[in-house]
Structure 1
Amino acid sequence: MAETVYDFSLRTLQGEAFPLAALRGRPLLIVNTASQCGFTPQYAGLQALQVTWGGQDGGLVIIGVPSNDFGNQEPGEAAAIGAFCESNYGVTFAMMEKSHVKGAQAHPLFQWLGEQAGFLGKPRWNFYKYLTRRDGSLAEWFSSKTAPESQKLQRAIEAVI
């Protein structure tokens, strides 16, 4: 039974293992993403968060997890997703392979995040955001409507940094 976010592993867009245990002690912002969504421009705000908070020693780690679970808004394969993020938004934060984030097929990480966040915190659309503390516990979750540059999210990041 997983106790912290660091108990999970993902795979990068290149298919390489990405164990979250390697990030132990760092706060994480995990976001389910999609390339053809009305919220897709949030990639720019997430990249700005990466620049602002990621470069510090022990700074924030942003992890994008593409998903096609909502409105078939992430139909592309790994190479296309990576190229889209880089060319349109200059994304340098970690992007994982496309995964399910809802229902019985949801990646175990998103099942755990949903349990920690409660019923309303389970992903209901693209660009749900999950902020974890340095101890690997969930600090707060944010719906798609909460922009990366919002004061609410900025304050929450400051609190875990």
Structure 2
Amino acid sequence: MTTADPSRVFVPPRWFVRLAWRVHRRIYAGSGGRRGLRRAGPGREGYLCLVSTGRRSGQQRRVLLAYLEDGPDLVTLAMNGWSEGEPAWWLNLLANQDAVVELVDGTRRVRAHAATGAERERLWARWRELDEKLDDYAARRPGGTAVVVLAPRAPSDT
């Protein structure tokens, strides 16, 4: 494992990252969900739409996230564009772990949790396979980056 060096990586300015995700969401919404999502595959992440409940508003909130598959689970990183603070979608899931994900092939009810211990290390290593500079990006954040597991919920789970 290499020592993380945040100066080794370029991260676009915050305004640009926010603009890029806003455009991505508009493409998704404007196409009625037909564009903007991608299935994860060998050597590449996919894109999903997470629908969670706002922790303060109680309203549905949508965000597009990169993910990888781990068996039946979907795994993403709460990285906030590699900036400070936790992303709002992760704070929403901490308040209410039940959500829905929209995928290329349909929707799935999920329950979120932060991976810890050996599970986190294994999943972080999988993300590192997709981006060799992952540790450098993560070192830019003052706190840790949660590895978020979106596990399928049973139909009886409400």
Report the TM-score, using the length of structure 2 for normalisation.
0.26
Between structure 1 and structure 2, the one with the greater Rg is: 2
Q: Which has the higher strand share?
A: 2
Report the TM-score, using the length of structure 1 for normalisation.
0.25
